[in-house]
Structure 1
Amino acid sequence: MVADLVAQAGVPLQRIGIAGTTRESFTVNELSTGKQFRFVLQGPELSDLEQAQCLDLVRAGAAGAQFVVASGSLPPGVPSDWYQRIADVCEDVGTPLILDTSGGGLTHVKSGVFLLKPSIRELRECVGQELRTEAEQFAAAHDLIGCGVSQAVLVSLGGDGALLATPGHSQRFSAVQVQAGSGVGAGDAMVAAIAVGLARGWPLNKSVRFGIAAGAAMLLTPGTATCTRPDVERFFEAVAEPVDIAAGEG
């Protein structure tokens, strides 16, 4: 069913058949309180052969790609260093990797990432610190760069915008003020739009602004509906240029 939906959307795909059933998740909006509850069910366990097929397909696709985007939590049966293996493949073929993951999938990545995009919660879990201040958040992001994990780290802050750390630079991005709606897919839309911007040859900070616009546009959509291009472009015009943060500020 997932493959059919992707094909109907006109997106080229290469499907790897697995023995298990695709993981399901669903969201409940409680009308009386306005709260949203998300239920993510455990996915199927992947066999060693299925994992090997995935890596083979990534290697083949990465060889001719401008960028590789890897995202999501790791399914049962997949080793915790799975994304490091993806990073190694991308490094071998010379294709930049954009990574958006959490938990063990994040903490076991040691090198080879071009852009790492954790949420503030995921960054805290990764470094094992509370990171109460902006200065501490930037310091943690720069530590990941200094250790060779990633060339750049983008920390998404939800309604508070985002922080971008690159070698020698720290930039703060403001969020677009949008009436709160369904946040389902906002982070994924942000990553997708950043990849689009980079593929267009835009600098990273302009691509991040495009990503913030796409994430904001997702808040206008109900349920799992995708955002619209006019909304993304309208918000893109509203995203302010980032603020450079001097060392010691925050």
Structure 2
Amino acid sequence: MTTLTLQDVHITLAGAPIVTGVDLTAASGRFVGIIGPNGSGKSTLLRAVYRHLPLTRGSITVDGEDLWRLTPRRAAQLVAALPQETRSDFDVTTWEMAAMGRTPHKRPFASDTAEDTKIVSDALAHAGVAHLAHRRYSTLSGGEKQRVLLARALAQQAPVLVLDEPTNHLDVRHQFELLDLVTSTGVTVVAALHDLNLAAAYCDHLYVLAEGRVVTDGPPPDVLTPRLVRDVFGIDAHVTSTPGTDTPHLIFRPGR
């Protein structure tokens, strides 16, 4: 059982408050989505969870362990991330990029074990990029890179997975394949999503951010209402249900 808990999280950048007083809980094995307009603080909040941005105040814990009080190695054993953009300053292969996920579980400069090799192979296969193992990462398309980075996160075998706009650069088919794969892992997932219909289809619980604060949270049918969409995103939407389910489906209408 692995639960991620954010309590009273504040993040200030260049003297400006970006995230203010966020409380969030992602219970074990649940898929928690963070939605909100551009500039609402979604990515900033997630960067603090995977320790790329420090907190100004508050705490982030995994089963009671304060991530910001742990060694980087221990924190990486608990939280894996698929960020929006990942630069590679080295001419590495797809295999080498995915194998970086094993770093938190190895001693410095240690060679890959047979177990490491199997874990990386399985991760590449699950992400649908095993056939790219010997390609240079820099030569891949945006969508291929995204799936390789997911393989790296899977190889890390952390109980919490953080995804920042994971369907960027993916066509419709691969958007669904990636999120199907993520939900099948059984890990605790926190994801920032810009596609509200994908959020409705895959998330167990949604948190809505606006101007760095949580406006509301709850199951998708309770959160994704026409009024919420209009007030937060500034667009009118008709909300219906996906046939045979209670999953909300939003049809947007331009203008107000």
Normalised by the length of structure 2, the TM-score is 0.28
Which of structures 1 and 2 has the larger relative contact order (alpha carbons within 8 angstroms, sep 6+)? 2
TM-score (norm: length of structure 1) = 0.28
